[in-house]
Amino acid sequence: MKKFSRTQNFNKTNVKDIPDDKSIVYKIKNTQGKNLYTGIASRYRGQDRLLEHKNITREKIPGGTKFQIMQVKNKDIAESIENKIIQKEKPKYNQELK
């Protein structure tokens, strides 16, 4: 399996640097590095999806200060990886938002 990118600060500048040519799996983490939320975004939606978590009150992840991404070939692969991470790490906001 591919690896996640290095952890970055969760801000608009870093999000805009995310490549949009493939689907992604992403983790939003707190300052201590704990995974708060794992999600996916299809091709050309990665930047927008992460910014939704930053800007939309209903989607906001409290305490989310860092993020990581993993690029994958397609959305089906992304969904499979997302499910495995959620089962293993049990991020707090995946339980509350789903």
Confidence (pLDDT) at 25: 97
pTM, 2 dp: 0.91
Q: How far apart are CA 36 and CA 66, in angstroms?
A: 10
Q: How far apart are CA 66 and CA 21, in angstroms?
A: 22
* Segment-wise mean pLDDT, segments of 10 residues, the chain, 98 residues: 89 93 96 96 94 81 95 95 95 77
Give CATH for domain 8-92: 3.40.1440.10
Q: How far apart are CA 13 and CA 17, in angstroms?
A: 7
Distances (CA, A) of 26 to 29, 35, 46, 72, 81: 10, 10, 9, 11, 10
- Residue 31, C-beta contacts closer than 8 angstroms, at least 6 positions apart: 63, 65, 66
